[in-house]
Amino acid sequence: MPAHPSAPSIAVFGLGIIGSRVADLLVAAGHKVGTWSRSPRPRPDFQSDPAALAERSHVLLCFLKDVPAVRETLAAIRPHLSPTKIFVNHATIDLETTQLLEKECQAAGCGFLNAPFTGSKMAAQNGRLVYYAGGKTSTLEQLRPILEASAQQIIPMESAAHATIIKLTTNLISACTVQALAESLRLSQAHGISADTLLAAIQGNACGSVLAGMKIPSMAAEDYDPHFSLSNMLKDSRYAIDLAARAGLNTPALRCVSDQMAALNDQGLGEFDFSILNSQFSSDQPQ
């Protein structure tokens, strides 16, 4: 498909599970795309220099993994932020870094939207991500055709900070839910109940969810192919714990699950799906 003649050029920073698939969707939709990640990728649109890519692009999409990666890349491209550009953060980061991005973009006169997302590998591949979009309404509307290439829904937030908070609090629920699902699966199996029977009971119960439908079968099969990695969920749990500390709140369930994830991550299991929480109950862990 030919590029939209009036479309802005788009830079995608970060080519992990989500960023690479969003870049593919943008290309398929006819947008002019350049990509970069800290690890070189065999893509025809890959650029080796993030600063040069930022200089010649108008919309800068950040799908980097964590706070250090976002801050490092910001330092590299900061000289090229200007009133003719818009920086869009899709990374799940802490509140402090969200505020830094907003401040730096304002200082440069650069447009800014904070739009972390929910949805893992298949959602990204099928254009079914949900974005929590915090920023000026005019900026969101300008970016909507770009976001819609990979989104099933865009939920406006009152501010950039609120978008980060919502992303962290919803991930808190997912982490704790998968811990509970793993425990219920192992308990059921230990007493002779199959995963299929457990899932049917869950889906007929108020606790039923899309997440349960995804994770019970994969955990039963001990399939931990990463849709959302343990290392990513671990860093998000730590950002959420920091968020709670800022408000003077305690999150005992999240702290417990975060500790479990940290232990598995320390065993070298960080790049498996976070449902590998299930393996803590088994002596046979993935290699």
Encoded tokens for 10: 């788009």
Which of the two residues, 134 and 1, has the higher pLDDT score?
A: 134
Summarize the confidence of residues 67-88 as an average pLDDT.
98
Residue 213 confidence (pLDDT): 97
What domains does the chain contain, in order, with CATH numbers?
A: 10-158 (3.40.50.720), 165-281 (1.10.1040.10)
CB 92 within 8 A of CB 236: yes
Instruction: Give the model's confidence band at 120: pLDDT under 50 very low, under 70 low, under 90 confident, else very high.
Output: confident
Can you point out the beta strands (E) in 3-128?
A: 10-13, 33-36, 59-62, 86-89, 111-114, 117-118
Per the prediction, the chain carries an average pLDDT of 95
What value does the mean pLDDT take over residues 121-149? 97
Model's pTM, two decimal places? 0.91
β-pair type (129-135, 151-157): parallel
Say what the pLDDT of residue 281 is: 72
b/e map 230-243, b = 16+ CB within 10 Å: bbbbbbbbbbbbeb
What are 239-279's pLDDT values in tens digits? 999 999 999 999 999 999 999 999 999 999 999 999 999 99
